[in-house]
Structure 1
Amino acid sequence: MKNFKRILLLLLVLITVAIIYNYPRLNILAGYSAKNIASSQFIANRDLAYTDANDNNFSPINLASDKIDLENKIVNSSAFGLLTRKAIYREGLGAVLTLEDKDKSASFLTPKRLEVDNITPYPYGNGDQKDTVFNTIDYQQLNTAVNSIFNETNKTRAVVVIYKNQIIAEKYIEGFDKNSKFLGWSMTKSITGTLFGVLEHQGKLNVQDKAPIKEWKNDERKEITIHNLLQMNSGLEWNEDYNTISDVSKMLFLGRDMTKSQINKPLIAKPNEKWHYSSGTTNLLSGILRSQFKTQQEYLDFWYTDLIDKIGMNSMLVEADLEGNYVGSSYGWATPRDWAKLGLLYLHNGNWNGEQLFAKDWVKYATTPTPTSNGWYGAQIWLNAGNRYPDVPKNMYSFNGYQGQNVFILPDEEMVVVRMSLTEKADINQFLKEIIAAVK
């Protein structure tokens, strides 16, 4: 009997140690599930059953048990009954994970939105586009190219191809259409970066200035510029690993103010000497944007009035953290057609229907390769300068996000190609090569 009790005690100790060791993982597991379900339901109108079966059906997230309160717009996700995370939906700011009971009832400001234009033809409005048939396009070849990326392996959900401002191909899987909103994940970084171009064009900011971070004033980090942050070569430490308890996972699922997640990180290299991808950097940039305005309301409005709604991305919603800062690294939702509008703004060098939103040379700046990035990265934008896609022009650049969210801009071809997906397992080089061939 004594041996049995000793064995039982040992098992209890081992179980306790295992729970304590894995508690942070359970926290993030449940947090990811709750946050994703809340956003999917209340932003994109995809219900709990669909999200669990499709968006949250990978390990270990599929181990969470989820419950949704539609009336109060709350999602509770449990990790084996040991820990429960709560996500709440706030109109205008999206879903957020609570950290304390008071978060559920906390007051918040919401952004003011511009009026939706449903009359002007797409892309400058949301009305039906004018019918145009291009003699230079092999439409059968184009549709074959688009269809080729829709399969169980690629898990593509939507594709939109735009040529000379006209949608020439558009396809969605069953259950989705032109009004369906998709999470762009890190494509949101390109929204954040673009806002600096807008502010600079308005004469309110210079990206070559030192980053206005008071915590850096008295140490070597004071030399970091906004430009360094935009190019992600500040030299700051950061761990961007979504599969472990890392800086990025703690920020997104345990953070209250995500703009501060990288502020206290030390340098691991001198500024402009080491390219290091960091979602913490982009949220730090969101915080810098906040510092440019006298009030929280002005900051909230600016993203929409001066860019997002300005170009008719009216479906877009950028989610905010518990402190009301936009999560500029990851949480932008919009329809594929609206994501394409951001690509078109760049294709037209910042000119939107006759109005210049950022300087013409901003595109050149934003698509200049960051030192040591091997030609892959510019200012919050991915590049093909390093020949990542060998059969695609080197001056192609893109907004990219987790699980295969892409907006490809092809200046020479006057094209924008949008792909929304659940996996990056796709031959993008071949996909774009075939689309280009069909249009030439």
Structure 2
Amino acid sequence: MKTFKRILLFLLLGIGVLVYLNYPKLNMISGYAAKYMASSVLIGGHATKYVATTDLDMPLIDLASTEFDEKNKVAKASVYGLMERTTIDRQGLGTVLTNEKYPTDASYLQPNRNFKKVDKPYPYGHLPPKDTVFKEIDYDLLQKAVALPFSKPKLQKTRTLAILYKGHLIHEEYVDGFDKDTPILGWSMTKSVLATCFGILEKNGKIQSHWPAPIPEWQDDERSAITLNHLLRMQSGLEWSEDYTRISDVTKMLFLDPDMTQAQRVKKAVAKPGEKWNYSSGTTNLLSGILRQQFRSPQAYLDFLYARFIDKIGAHSMLIEADLEGNYVGSSYGWASTRDWGRIGQLYLDRGQWNGEELFKPEWVDYITRPTALSNGTYGAHFWLNAQGKYPDVPKDLFSMNGFQGQYVFIVPSKDLVVVRTGLAEYPDFDINGFLSTLVRAIN
């Protein structure tokens, strides 16, 4: 009996230590579960059971118990009853985690949208895509290529695929529960969307990338040398930890901060601007705050993204979620259908031209695809690159929008290609090089 009591005591102590060490993480776990459940139901259009058994079935997150109140559009999650978090819906701004300082019925602004449809075939309009046959395409090899992302469904977890060639949709495919209209969370693909706003501002003479970052509290120390270019290239030299496996700068920002534009803003310099490349979601949300500073009112800020970019190209399914203070969470929370993610890729393939209008200068594409020092040729300005052959059998002019769990928009100018792939797995489970190399070989 004494031995049994000792064992039980050690077990209880062990459990106590585990709870003590991991208790702060519960806030992040329940926050992730509540936020993702709410957005997946209200924006993605999925059933709660489906979300719980697929998207939330991942290490640590699966510890959370999540419930969704359809009538009030509220999601709640906790871990064994601890650290309950609540997510509410705000029309036009998506869903947001609340805290005790922000009442669930607080008033808020929402962006004005223009959902006018254009009488042109997709991607330049909203009519069905043209059924076009290209003599330079090896369609047998194309079929082999498009089968690859779906060949091992339990491992690759591909959900949707769309391929555009010379502005024509030549293939699209969806697993059950998804179709051409289903909004999908792009995660960090949203960074490229936010950055595009700076290309539009630059085209209209509102900003220039070499300008100092307009942060008043930086002007009296070494951070005064940080430019917009440094921020767009993740070269600010500011302290930041992008680690999703623990409590870090990025997890605190996404699941605790009411104003996500501040997380990077208050960090100290650990290197001179340009001396270090450090991928930072905080930097993108800082840029969202800087974008907001360019407008006279919060309403003008909210409207700009859609009026001058998203709705302009007809990507009407897209929604960029905002934090509690009404700032677009440009680092992570952009939703759009597979076809609408494809429209953005096509805009970049067309170097800023859309139905006869120039949204940003062609030189902006040259800028965002110029390799950033110390990134090993993998990063430009909020876009990922293949400049040093990360994908060895794919053209080096490929650039892309990348997101967590394998969300991709690949743009391959030398092949006139835009490829959208979404899912729940990335490399090495999803072989990007094998898929893309087969695809590009199909185009002679």
TM-score normalised by the chain length of structure 1: 0.96
Q: Note if contact 2:115-2:314 (Cα within 8 Å) is conserved in structure 1.
A: no
Residue 431 of structure 1 pairs with residue 435 of structure 2: yes
What residue in structure 1 maps to residue 319 of structure 2? 317
What residue in structure 2 maps to residue 84 of structure 1? 84
Specify whether residues 10 and 426 from structure 1 end up closer, same or farther in structure 2 by C-alpha distance, changes over 3 A only.
Answer: closer
What residue in structure 1 maps to residue 102 of structure 2? 102
Partners of 1:204 and 1:370 lie apart in 2 by 24
Judge which range, 269-278 or 133-142, deviates more: 133-142
Runs of 4+ in 1 over 2 A off after TM superposition: 1-21
Residue 22 of structure 1 pairs with residue 22 of structure 2: yes
Partners of 1:88 and 1:407 lie apart in 2 by 30
What residue in structure 1 maps to residue 130 of structure 2? 130
Letter in 1 for 2:252: K
Per-residue deviation, 1:12: 7.1
1:412 counterpart SS class: helix
Q: Note if contact 1:318-1:332 (Cα within 8 Å) is conserved in structure 2.
A: yes
CA displacement 1:34-62 (0-9 Å, x = unmatched) = 00000000001111100011100011111
Q: Note if contact 1:317-1:334 (Cα within 8 Å) is conserved in structure 2.
A: yes
In the TM superposition, what are the counterparts of 1:146-295 in structure 2 within 5 Å? 146-150=146-150, 151-295=153-297
Partners of 1:369 and 1:233 lie apart in 2 by 12
Query: How much identity, in percent, do the aligned residues show?
Result: 55
Letter in 1 for 2:205: G
In the TM superposition, what are the counterparts of 1:52-67 in structure 2 within 5 Å? 52-67=52-67
Partners of 1:157 and 1:118 lie apart in 2 by 27
What residue in structure 2 maps to residue 348 of structure 1? 350
Give the number of equivalent residue pairs. Answer: 440
CA displacement 1:15-44 (0-9 Å, x = unmatched) = 555434322110001000000000000001
Letter in 2 for 1:204: K
Per-residue deviation, 1:396: 0.6
CA RMSD across the alignment: 1.9
Q: Note if contact 1:94-1:318 (Cα within 8 Å) is conserved in structure 2.
A: yes
Q: Note if contact 1:195-1:303 (Cα within 8 Å) is conserved in structure 2.
A: yes
Partners of 1:3 and 1:135 lie apart in 2 by 80
Per-residue deviation, 1:439: 1.9
Judge which range, 293-302 or 1-10, deviates more: 1-10
Partners of 2:307 and 2:205 lie apart in 1 by 17
Per-residue deviation, 1:342: 0.8
Partners of 1:354 and 1:97 lie apart in 2 by 41
In the TM superposition, what are the counterparts of 1:361-376 in structure 2 within 5 Å? 361-376=363-378
CA displacement 1:69-126 (0-9 Å, x = unmatched) = 0011000101111221101111100011111163311111000011231532111112
CA displacement 1:329-358 (0-9 Å, x = unmatched) = 000000111001111111111111110011
Partners of 1:124 and 1:103 lie apart in 2 by 42
What residue in structure 1 maps to residue 379 of structure 2? 377
- Structure 2: runs of 5+ lacking an equivalent: none
- Structure 1: runs of 5+ lacking an equivalent: none
What residue in structure 2 maps to residue 389 of structure 1? 391
1:149 counterpart SS class: helix
Letter in 2 for 1:436: V
TM-score normalised by the chain length of structure 2: 0.95
